[in-house]
Chain A
């Protein structure tokens, strides 16, 4: 079956512009996670959704970052007024119910802020 998909796969933007990243989880997966991975670094947790609600937003690095999920499916991560330090790979993962279940990752969106 289809895995987690993310779009765009690559995004180059200018400093100060807003970007929107999209994640399509595996059908039926209620839990959805966003992570960020900078070059040579580990995965940094950003936000977690259970259904449409986000019980844990603790990882969002600043108020320029926001995320939403509608219909218990697709999620978008929005970065406003992008900065060069936002350049990273943004990974989305989904799992059946909770993190007791295996997380399946999408291929990521490579964001480069010039």
Chain B
């Protein structure tokens, strides 16, 4: 089983739709969780950290479910500019390695 698993998609959604992605992780000792965004042929950029209590940033909401070992990202009122690949990132252990998921591709269509 991969350390971090994501559905690669693509998810094709109309503008204004709400879309949610899940990401599962295998190590119950994982400590920190993030969502990164990667545009085509660009480098990844941090979208948001994921806190135990969940957190919201505008149209984006991230949740952590430790019992089921998954994190989620909800995007409300999708914009064309949200089209990108969303990478789930997990940090595990006492050293500093992080593991990236393969990414979920989102395409918002007019």
Which of B66-74, B76-84, B100-108 is the interface stretch?
B100-108
Which of A13-21, A71-79, A95-103 is the interface stretch?
A95-103
Q: In A29-67, which residues have CB < 8 Å from any B CB?
A: 31, 33, 35, 41-43, 45, 48, 50, 55-56, 58-59
Instruction: Give residues in A with beta carbon < 8 Å to B.
Output: 31, 33, 35, 41-43, 45, 48, 50, 55-56, 58-59, 91, 98-100, 102-103, 105-108
Q: B102 contacts which chain A residues (CB < 8 A)?
A: 41-42
Q: In B32-47, which residues have CB < 8 Å from any A CB?
A: 32, 42-46
Contact call B45/A43, Cβ cutoff below 8 A: no
Q: How far is the CA of A102 from the CA of B49 in the complex (A)?
A: 9
Contact call B96/A106, Cβ cutoff below 8 A: no
B1 interface residue per 8 A CB criterion: no
Q: A45 touches which one: B42, B46, B87, B99 (CB < 8 A)?
A: B99
Closest A residue to B91 by beta carbon equals A99
Contact call A56/B43, Cβ cutoff below 8 A: no
Shortest distance between the CB of A61 and any CB in chain B (Å): 15
